[in-house]
């Protein structure tokens, strides 16, 4: 981002300078892009007579700590407000726009509004905006929120979008940002230009546009892998035009827990949403690259994350590969052979690292195994369940249920379980524990998928806490559970 400051007194030495004009931010950006050593220096902007007006300065992109991602330095260094693939749908939600600061991105957003939505009203709280815009019927300069309210109170009744220029706000944490139309300028930029990030790998399928979901999996769990891909599919279903999602989660050097490097984790278990092979997509003319920056910044994805409902999230978006579906059906039938037509309660006993201080404030703490057992016993009695299907990664929880009065009517999948009271595992993340074990990533994931599938086939679901093993079965079940909740 290029920032502007007219309050700094003119420096005695002027090493870098350019002339003021409509494209001044673009020219400054190109200077900083071509010459990294000068990115810590100010650029003096002069009027046509050579008089100093203000300074421009390069501001490095912020890290996005909540997804462990750092934006590349060149993010949004190549955008064009005349591009044919701009997405104006976020801007169309508001009639009034309030800009707190004048900087490269707010200038670009305001320019897009003036060009394509000229009936929108623009308010600037930064006096530096006067270098770029003239006050008129749709453009106003204000000193404060009070100034807006007192001088232009009738605009309060209209839909106002606040565009800030501050540190990035974590995705999905505060849904009020969406409901109250509060965005950072880089998020609005992402909403406008996400479709312009196209690659042309060849000449195939010129009439189609693909959306290539390709990002490292790293430490993500299975349900996270699915949901972040499905969020993107959900976003596309709500956008104009027929954009085809294609998933390739097979990056080299990824170090994920599921597969060998370079293998596409998605197609190990699921079908693509198109009959066009991935190899042809990499030879196609129009391919939008869905990179990590979009996941971090795109407000349309933020909405999917903030407001998704697992009961409908997976519907029509995922389909198991035929061999995977056959495995799941056959194993489920064998496991439940004594409970055909019987009432089964799905029980998720998430424990282990969810009880650790390492995840304080990140995940919801589960109730204790003893409390959970009593709750399950109560539900079985009150709701007349014939048996339970227990899913837990922790040895202690498994043994507690197995040795209880429910043990003789309990079904479970044989899996690797962790004795979290063992000093070797104390206060370690489950992903780190698995990384130290001799595992078959594909087989272990297939067994985990079987557990999730069996949970979804029960009549109701209860869990110690909110977790992937609760949410994914809710998604597969698609709202048919008698009840589903966590403590």
CATH number, domain with residue 417: 3.40.50.11350
pLDDT reported for residue 365: 87
Domain boundary among 169, 194, 219: 194
Q: What is the mean pLDDT of residues 71-92?
A: 89
Shared-domain flag, residues 79 and 51: no
| 388-399 mean pLDDT | 94
User: Do 360 and 456 fall into the same domain?
Assistant: yes
Mean pLDDT across 22-35 = 93
**Residue 384 pLDDT:** 97
Could you read off the pLDDT of 452-471 as tens digits, one per residue?
Answer: 999 999 999 999 999 999 99
Residue 12: is its pLDDT beyond 70? no
Domain count, the chain: 4
Q: What percent of the chain has pLDDT over 90?
A: 64
Q: Which domain holds residue 210?
A: 198-290
* pLDDT, tens only, 210-256: 999 987 676 677 898 899 899 999 999 888 788 999 999 876 555 56
Neighbours of 371 (CB within 10 A): 12
Over residues 287-312, mean pLDDT: 87
Are 465 and 350 a contacting pair, CB within 8 Å? yes
The mean per-residue pLDDT over the stretch 26-52 comes to 93
Answer whether 16's CB lies under 8 Å from 31's CB. yes
Q: What is the mean pLDDT of residues 332-345?
A: 96
pLDDT classification of 288: cutoffs 50, 70, 90: very high
Of the chain, the percentage scoring pLDDT greater than 70 comes to: 92
Average pLDDT over residues 162-191: 79
pLDDT higher than threshold 60 for residue 273: yes
> Is the confidence at residue 171, as pLDDT, over 60?
no
Taking residues 326-346, what's their average pLDDT? Answer: 97
> What is the band of 336 on the pLDDT scale with cuts at 50, 70, 90?
very high
Residues 416 and 403 in one domain: yes
Cα separation, 421 vs 401, in Å, equals 17
The β-bridge relationship of strands 2-5 and 52-58 is: antiparallel
Instruction: Using the structure block, give the residue that is written with the tokens 């030495």.
Output: 13
Tokens of 429: 């993340």
User: Is 66 contained in some domain?
Assistant: no
Mean pLDDT of the region 63-89? 79
Kindly state whether residues 380 and 246 are assigned to the same domain. Answer: no
| Greater pLDDT, 259 or 87 | 87
| Token code pair at residue 358 | 């390492």
Rg of the chain, C-alpha, whole Å: 27
Residue-wise burial string across 85-99, b where 16 or more C-beta atoms lie within 10 A, e elsewhere: bbbeebbeebebbbb
Find residue 437's DSSP bridge partners. none
**378 pLDDT higher than 60:** yes
Same-domain check for residues 372 and 461: yes
Say whether pLDDT at 274 is over 80.
Answer: yes
- Give 172's pLDDT tier (boundaries 50, 70, 90): very low
């Amino acid at each position: 981002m290029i920032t502007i400051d007219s309050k700094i007194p003119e420096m005695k030495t002027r090493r870098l300078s350019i002339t003021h004009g409509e494209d001044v931010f673009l020219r400054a950006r190109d200077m900083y892009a071509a010459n990294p050593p000068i990115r810590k220096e100010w650029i003096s902007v002069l009027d046509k007579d050579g008089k100093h007006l203000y300074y421009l300065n390069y501001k490095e992109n912020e890290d996005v700590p909540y997804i462990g991602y750092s934006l590349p330095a060149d993010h949004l260094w190549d955008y064009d407000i005349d591009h044919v693939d701009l997405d104006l749908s976020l801007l169309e939600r508001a009639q009034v726009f309030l800009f707190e600061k004048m900087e490269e991105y707010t200038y670009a957003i305001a320019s897009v509004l003036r060009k394509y939505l000229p009936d929108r009203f623009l308010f600037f709280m930064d006096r530096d905006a006067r270098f770029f815009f003239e006050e008129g019927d749709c453009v106003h300069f204000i000193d404060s929120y009070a100034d807006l309210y007192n001088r232009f109170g009738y605009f309060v009744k209209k839909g106002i979008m606040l565009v800030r220029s501050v540190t990035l706000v974590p995705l999905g944490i505060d849904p009020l940002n969406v409901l109250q139309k509060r965005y950072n300028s880089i998020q609005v930029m992402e909403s406008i230009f996400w479709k312009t990030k196209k690659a042309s790998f060849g000449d195939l399928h010129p009439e189609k546009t693909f959306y290539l979901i390709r990002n490292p999996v790293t430490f993500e769990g299975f349900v996270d892998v699915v949901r972040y891909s499905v969020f993107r599919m959900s976003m596309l279903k709500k956008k104009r035009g027929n954009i085809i999602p294609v998933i390739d989660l097979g990056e080299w050097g990824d170090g994920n827990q599921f597969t060998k490097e370079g293998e596409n984790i998605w197609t190990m278990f699921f079908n693509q949403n198109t009959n066009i092979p991935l190899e042809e997509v990499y030879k196609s003319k129009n391919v939008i690259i869905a990179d990590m920056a979009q996941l971090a910044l795109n407000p349309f994805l933020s909405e999917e994350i903030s407001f998704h409902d697992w009961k409908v999230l997976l519907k029509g978006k995922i389909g198991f590969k035929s061999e995977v579906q056959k495995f799941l059906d056959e194993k489920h039938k064998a496991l439940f052979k004594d409970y055909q037509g019987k009432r089964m309660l799905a029980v998720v006993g998430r424990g282990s690292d969810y009880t650790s201080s390492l995840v304080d404030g990140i995940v919801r703490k589960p109730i204790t195994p003893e409390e959970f057992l009593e709750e399950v016993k109560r539900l079985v009695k009150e709701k007349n369940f014939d048996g339970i299907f227990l899913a837990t990664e922790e040895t202690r929880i498994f043994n507690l249920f197995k040795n209880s009065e429910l043990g003789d009517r309990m079904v479970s999948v044989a899996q690797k379980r962790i004795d979290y009271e063992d000093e070797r595992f104390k206060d370690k993340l489950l992903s780190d524990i698995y990384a130290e074990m001799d595992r078959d990533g594909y087989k272990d994931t297939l067994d985990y998928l079987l557990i999730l599938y069996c949970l979804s086939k029960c009549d109701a679901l209860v869990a110690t806490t909110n977790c992937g093993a609760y949410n994914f079965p809710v998604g597969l079940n698609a709202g048919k559970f008698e009840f589903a909740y966590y403590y």
